[in-house]
A and B are shown apart, each in its own frame.
Chain A
Amino acid sequence: MNKGYFIKGALLLLIPWYIISFTFSIPIVPFPHLVLMEAFSELIKGEVLLHLLISLYRVLSGILFALLIAIPLGIVMGLKNTTNKLFTPIIYLFQPVPKIALLPIFLVLFGIGDLSKILIVSMVIFFPAVLMIKDSVAEINYNYVELAKAYHLSKNQVLKDIILPSILPSIFSTLRISVGISLSVLFFSENFATSYGIGYYIMNSWIMVNYLKMYTGIVFISLLGIFLYKSIEIIEKKLMPWKSATPSNRT
């Protein structure tokens, strides 16, 4: 990240925050430097790290689980019209439902432990992912299909050499769009039947009227978001090196 832009961006956030804190002068809007000091002290104590790691574990497991189902299902739906016709109405039916509304059902079905929280995150990622993957498989250039036939590629080779690289951009677009929403959903779900997770940490601090700690949690959940976005970017560059290759201007 460019250092100059980082400083400008930070100022854009901190100046209004200082103005609001100064204007209202109430404990629920503490000064940013006090929050930062609290954040350092919490980091040294290590407790917040445990909450962060548990939330990270839940969100990563949720993403992986969603992709594990969405990738094969999306590919089959993109290739087979009958599977597409069977699953598309179900997906369209569930896609607009706010996933957090399903939390009570998930808590009953999958228990109050990590599984229900992981599955609710999965739901956020799964629906857009399966639709994007299905569409990108269906839109694979017919030239490549003919190429595969002309070169006598096996089904596995078609999957590995043509289908999977074709759907990678869709997978990463979905992740970029959904990871923020999945963190919001996770935050909400961590308010029920758990004593761990950054969502619990924030809401518990609020209930205990410890606003500095509450803001510390908000700062850390934002940092968790940045970490996830950056990780997606790094993995995307690693898995799709052709995207960042300098193009030729020659014809």
Chain B
Amino acid sequence: MIRIEKASFNYGSVEVFKNLNITIKEQNNISIVGHSGCGKTSLLYCIKGLKTLSEGTIYLDGISQKDIGLLFQEDRLLPWKTVRNNILLGLDKNLDVQQYIDMVGLKGHENKYPAQLSGGERQRVALARVLVRQPKLLLLDEPTASLDELTKESLQDSILKLSKELKMSLILVTHHIEEAVYMGDRVIIFGDQMKEIDTIGNNRLSEKYFENVKQVRLALKGRAHE
């Protein structure tokens, strides 16, 4: 579906990441963890075409840029548009978006403005706005960063459920190891020499989950001492 080869990205004279190689297959979720400033978000923006790689290539196989959805860290809802009109941003106004509003659990909030919603609800609107475009690949940039623990888990479950229903692949960038392990079939520890840990089939209460969290934590700590 997507192949990133020998990718490097510089921010001015600062080298953010270099010689990166990642392959993502269909209906395969990956999580990316790493320290602040290591270029996780920049990589997502490069995949979405909002930034350009300094070197290397991103190959899209069987998908176009329009098949890639990006859920930003902040909801980025337009304050002057209602929930329904935010979801319909740039689309035909007569398109039926009710099923997406229902999917993200916002039935009854259609005509509210963003200022009338809680942080979690706003992020759900942003999710519906991405989903209505039916992306094949969904990029998630720390989508739960500003949410409380319960809202965070509820949104994570919704995203996973919908990604299965809509047959999407996910690339999640996060600072939270537990989130990375729970959401990803594999976790990539971002850095000069990338490490990958297989984390498929997790359940928040299983032993394997705790073991994977431990492994990712150790790998990340190891990266800090490199």
Q: Which residue numbers of A lie inside 8 Å of B, CB to CB?
A: 143-144, 146-147, 149-154, 157, 161-162, 165, 168, 240-242, 245-248, 250-251
Verify B65–A152 contact, CB threshold 8 A.
yes
Q: Could you say which residues of chain B place their CB within 8 Å of the CB of A250?
A: 117-119
Given A150, A165, A242, A248, which contacts B70 in the complex, CB threshold below 8 Å?
A150
CB distance from B69 to the nearest CB of A (A): 8
Q: Could you say which residues of chain B place their CB within 8 Å of the CB of A150?
A: 48, 50, 70, 72
Q: Could you say which residues of chain B place their CB within 8 Å of the CB of A154?
A: 90
Verify B79–A242 contact, CB threshold 8 A.
yes
User: Given that A146-B50, A147-B76 are known contacts, is A242 also in contact with B90, CB under 8 Å in the complex?
Assistant: no
Given B66, B70, B78, which contacts A144 in the complex, CB threshold below 8 Å?
B78
Given A143, A161, A242, A245, which contacts B89 in the complex, CB threshold below 8 Å?
A161
28 A-B residue pairings within 8 Å (CB atoms): A143-B72, A146-B76, A147-B76, A149-B49, A150-B48, A150-B50, A150-B70, A151-B90, A151-B133, A152-B65, A152-B90, A153-B89, A153-B90, A157-B90, A161-B89, A165-B78, A165-B81, A168-B80, A240-B80, A241-B113, A242-B79, A242-B115, A245-B112, A245-B115, A247-B115, A247-B116, A248-B116, A251-B119
B74 within 8 A of A: yes
In this complex, what residue of A is CB-closest to B151?
Answer: A251
Chain B, interface SS category: loop
Chain A, interface SS category: helix
A149 CA to B129 CA, complexed, in Å: 14
A154 CA to B70 CA, complexed, in Å: 18
User: Given that A150-B48, A161-B90 are known contacts, is A246 also in contact with B116, CB under 8 Å in the complex?
Assistant: yes
Q: Could you say which residues of chain B place their CB within 8 Å of the CB of A162?
A: 78
User: Given that A151-B89, A242-B79 are known contacts, is A248 also in contact with B50, CB under 8 Å in the complex?
Assistant: no
Verify A143–B80 contact, CB threshold 8 A.
no
Q: Could you say which residues of chain A place their CB within 8 Å of the CB of B50?
A: 146, 149-150
Q: Could you say which residues of chain B place their CB within 8 Å of the CB of A242?
A: 79-81, 113-115
A247 CA to B117 CA, complexed, in Å: 8
A102 CA to B64 CA, complexed, in Å: 58
CB distance from A169 to the nearest CB of B (A): 10
A248 CA to B49 CA, complexed, in Å: 35
In this complex, what residue of A is CB-closest to B112?
Answer: A245
Verify A251–B118 contact, CB threshold 8 A.
yes
A168 CA to B79 CA, complexed, in Å: 13
Interface range on chain B (Cβ under 8 Å from partner): 20 to 34
Q: Could you say which residues of chain A place their CB within 8 Å of the CB of B129?
A: 151
Q: Could you say which residues of chain A place their CB within 8 Å of the CB of B113?
A: 241-242, 245
Sample of 15 more A-B contacts, CB < 8 Å, known A151-B89, A161-B90: A144-B76, A144-B78, A151-B90, A152-B65, A161-B78, A162-B78, A165-B78, A240-B80, A242-B115, A245-B112, A245-B116, A246-B116, A248-B115, A250-B118, A251-B118
In this complex, what residue of A is CB-closest to B119?
Answer: A251
Q: Could you say which residues of chain B place their CB within 8 Å of the CB of A240?
A: 80
CB distance from B131 to the nearest CB of A (A): 13
**Beta-carbon contacts under 8 Å, B64-96 to A:** 65-66, 70, 72, 74, 76, 78-81, 89-90
A13 CA to B70 CA, complexed, in Å: 60
**Beta-carbon contacts under 8 Å, B111-130 to A:** 112-119, 129
A229 CA to B27 CA, complexed, in Å: 58
CB distance from B145 to the nearest CB of A (A): 13
A240 CA to B78 CA, complexed, in Å: 13
Interface digits, B47-72 against A, CB 8 Å rule (1 contact, 0 not)? 01110000000000000011000101
CB distance from A168 to the nearest CB of B (A): 8
Q: Could you say which residues of chain A place their CB within 8 Å of the CB of B72?
A: 143, 146-147, 150
